[in-house]
Amino acid sequence: MACGLTVLVNISEELTNRFTPEEISSLKTPEGKEKHKETLKEIYHNACGHVLSEGDYDGALQGVVAYFRDKAMSFEDAEDEEGYGFGATRPDGIRKKILSWNWDQSMHVIRMLEAFEAQAEQKGIAKLSELFASSMTGDGRIQWEMFPYPASLYELRKALDAADNVFSYGQDKLVYSESEGLSSDISPYAPSHVINRAKEHPEDFLLLEVYYD
């Protein structure tokens, strides 16, 4: 079953190379978006190819994601789907999504821990450590079967990996960022320079939806 992954990409360099500041500003309007649709589509496809091939090339996703290359939401679907597409064409929505990015990641961890606490409470257990201890077999193994979805060890691991800024299979958010003078970076959390830039210049960013098995 394919997993959906939202990828945040900085496209400012290509955007400024292809458009004047006035044209970038016009992309917020239906007329400007329609006038430059073909150029936007090219930038979108370039971003898809760059992110997917870069992810394979630098090894950050190798061994974690199979069949990753070339599976992405189409340009037309991205522009129609709420929460995806160009910050240049929907600055308020994309800005909001980026500014809540790290909060959403962290809250997922907290909700997972709350689910485990609820499971402990149902069993009359006061502490999470006691919950895990109660699941141990005679040979000292914690039984993953004792933790059904949504409070499963698998879901907890995905959430904790993201909190540790490590991408692992099954996560649904990934940031692809490049800083001046630095190499590209792939991470679940958005770096502070990305968040700060998005506050004033959401047009610099694109949100992609890609799929992997």
Q: Based on C-alpha coordinates, what's the Rg of the chain?
A: 20
pLDDT for residue 159 is more than 70 = yes
DSSP 3-state of 208 = strand
Q: Tens digit of pLDDT for each residue in 41-57?
A: 999 988 887 666 544 54
Q: Is the pTM of this model over 0.75?
A: yes
Taking residues 72-94, report their average pLDDT: 83
**For 164-188, how does the pLDDT look when each residue is reduced to its tens digit (9 = 90+)?**
998 887 888 989 865 554 555 778 9
Residue 19: closest CA among 83, 70, 89: 89
Burial 185-202 (b: 16+ CB within 10 A, else e): ebbbbbbeebeebbeebb
pLDDT score for 183: 53
Residue 64: partners with Cβ closer than 8 Å, 6 or more residues away: 167, 168, 169
User: Does the pLDDT at position 101 exceed 90?
Assistant: yes
